[in-house]
């Protein structure tokens, strides 16, 4: 790169940093991510490039333990922390309750043979670590910006690693809030006096409403830079084993679509459709985060857990023989291309249907994804629907037959029979503790447990 271009990039990063009002440690990280994007044209593969004219067809070593993971959600306190811990407890009692609950969960996961926890550290526009960019999560204390008195991410890492378990920091990249009620607006507005304040008040021009939530507009370049700086903060400061984005890229509902018409008018020149432009924006974020992680700590894995269907064969001959909602068309995420370009260390599609669901058969999708990763270095983990086990369903009655064990067994058998599938992730942790799943949990323990 010419010296003049380098000076220009550094100057540009300084201008953006002054707008972002971040403190110096994060400024350094953000400058790094700008430098990571200085190439005018990214290489075909950003993480694991193939030799010219060759593809990788080798399979992982049989000595590598398969992924046996679980998602642990903190949004709305779905899995952790306990709701009771934030209801009027003293600080010391609250900290003890939250830490003990996490240790108890990790002990149980260890006994079941779970070796990796996908811990949701950014459930919305808040953080579960002392961030210089995001305010503290209200999931911990009931109040956005209130210091919980300890570092939950560090505590999780220490306790999990002590038990020989890995931790992937799970980020929801664009969500700012889970609703748009006047009460939520008032709470977010009151963060203006905090250090740091919510992005909702610092960059109101970045905020859109979509899927009945406040979200960031993925088409704004500064938004993607900001998200990358958050990931960089965690990767540089914590001993995380991996980083994962969930499937919330462009999230819309029929009655609450994202109004990015103005952003498209500014940045969408040269694209034949807004859909193509949106997919390009999502890929830019993935490329930027991937490159930044590898520059900071090459050993930290980067993965995405998208919707199980990339595209249906009715829309694309390369798609799967399914009739489900497709990530390519609905979330504007070309997940198959990310694998082909080597942007991910792993992909974990959410295949949340049984073998008998004709619109999206488990085996059809698992085999389709296995074919996608086969000529690449990208590992494949399958996300399965623990939350459906034991739940009556007119369309999917298999989940209640003998406590859901036969369906679960078929799915795990298939995963373990295919060399391209490197593991399984259960959605989600608290369903391991529900009455309707206990037959399945006991089965998991006999199959995976120590």
Per-residue confidence at 88, pLDDT binned at 50, 70, 90? Answer: confident
H or E segment at 10? helix 3-20
Asked whether residue 20 is domain-assigned, the answer is no
Query: What rounded mean pLDDT belongs to the chain?
Result: 89
Instruction: Report the number of distinct structural domains present in the chain.
Output: 1
Tell whether the model's pLDDT for residue 47 goes beyond 90: no
**pLDDT value, residue 52:** 38
Cβ neighbours, 10 Å, residue 255: 7
In this prediction, what percent of the chain has a pLDDT beyond 90?
Answer: 84
Asked whether residue 115 is domain-assigned, the answer is yes
Asked whether residue 28 is domain-assigned, the answer is no
Q: pTM of the prediction? A: 0.88
Tell whether the model's pLDDT for residue 46 goes beyond 90: no
Q: Compute the average pLDDT of residues 394-402.
A: 97
Q: Compute the average pLDDT of residues 31-45.
A: 38
User: Mean pLDDT lowest for which of 33-47, 270-284, 426-440?
Assistant: 33-47
Q: Compute the average pLDDT of residues 14-42.
A: 38
Asked whether residue 182 is domain-assigned, the answer is yes
Per-residue confidence at 64, pLDDT binned at 50, 70, 90? Answer: confident
Per-residue confidence at 45, pLDDT binned at 50, 70, 90? Answer: very low
Per-residue confidence at 89, pLDDT binned at 50, 70, 90? Answer: confident
Asked whether residue 27 is domain-assigned, the answer is no
Asked whether residue 51 is domain-assigned, the answer is no
User: Between helices 221-237 and 274-296, what is the axis angle to 10°?
Assistant: 20
- Domain ranges, residue 281: 65-448
CATH of the domain at 262: 3.20.20.80
Asked whether residue 80 is domain-assigned, the answer is yes
Asked whether residue 116 is domain-assigned, the answer is yes
């Amino acid at each position: 790169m010419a010296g003049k271009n380098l000076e220009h990039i550094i100057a540009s990063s300084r201008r953006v940093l002054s707008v972002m009002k971040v403190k110096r440690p994060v400024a350094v990280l953000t400058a790094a991510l700008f430098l990571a994007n200085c190439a005018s044209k990214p290489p075909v593969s950003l993480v694991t490039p193939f030799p010219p004219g060759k593809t990788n067809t080798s399979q992982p070593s049989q000595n590598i333990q398969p992924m046996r993971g679980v998602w642990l959600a903190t949004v709305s306190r779905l899995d952790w922390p306990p709701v009771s811990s934030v209801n009027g407890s003293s600080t010391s009692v609250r900290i003890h309750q939250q830490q003990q609950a996490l240790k108890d969960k990790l002990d149980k996961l260890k006994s079941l043979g779970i070796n990796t926890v996908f811990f949701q550290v950014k459930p919305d526009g808040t953080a579960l670590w002392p961030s210089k960019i995001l305010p503290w999560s209200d999931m911990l204390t009931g109040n956005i910006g209130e210091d919980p008195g300890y570092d939950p991410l560090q505590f999780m890492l220490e306790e999990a690693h002590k038990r020989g378990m890995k931790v992937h920091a799970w980020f929801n990249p664009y969500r700012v809030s889970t609703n748009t009620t006047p009460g939520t607006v008032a709470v977010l507005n009151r963060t203006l006096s905090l250090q740091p304040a919510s992005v909702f008040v610092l960059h109101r021009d970045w905020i859109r409403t979509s899927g009945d939530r406040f979200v960031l507009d993925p088409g704004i370049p500064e938004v993607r830079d900001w998200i990358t700086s958050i990931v960089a903060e965690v990767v540089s400061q914590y001993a995380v084993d991996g980083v994962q984005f969930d499937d919330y890229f462009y999230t819309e509902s029929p009655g609450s679509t994202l109004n990015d018409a103005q952003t498209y008018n500014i940045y969408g020149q040269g694209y034949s459709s807004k859909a193509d432009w949106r997919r390009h924006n999502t890929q830019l974020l993935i490329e930027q985060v991937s490159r930044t992680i590898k520059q900071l700590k090459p050993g930290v894995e980067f993965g995405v857990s998208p919707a199980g269907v990339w595209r249906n064969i009715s829309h694309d001959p390369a798609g799967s023989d399914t009739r489900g909602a497709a990530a390519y068309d609905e979330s504007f995420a070309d997940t198959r291309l990310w694998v082909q370009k080597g942007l991910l260390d792993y992909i974990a599609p959410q295949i949340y249907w049984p073998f008998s669901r004709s619109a999206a058969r488990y085996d059809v999708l698992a085999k389709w994804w296995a074919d996608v990763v086969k000529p690449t270095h990208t590992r494949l983990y399958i996300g399965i629907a623990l939350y459906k086990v034991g739940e009556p369903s007119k369309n999917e009655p298999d989940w209640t037959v003998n406590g859901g064990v036969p369906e679960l067994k078929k799915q795990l058998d298939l995963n373990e029979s295919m060399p391209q599938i490197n593991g399984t992730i259960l959605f989600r942790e608290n369903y391991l503790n529900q009455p309707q799943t206990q037959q399945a949990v006991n089965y998991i323990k006999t199959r995976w447990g120590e």
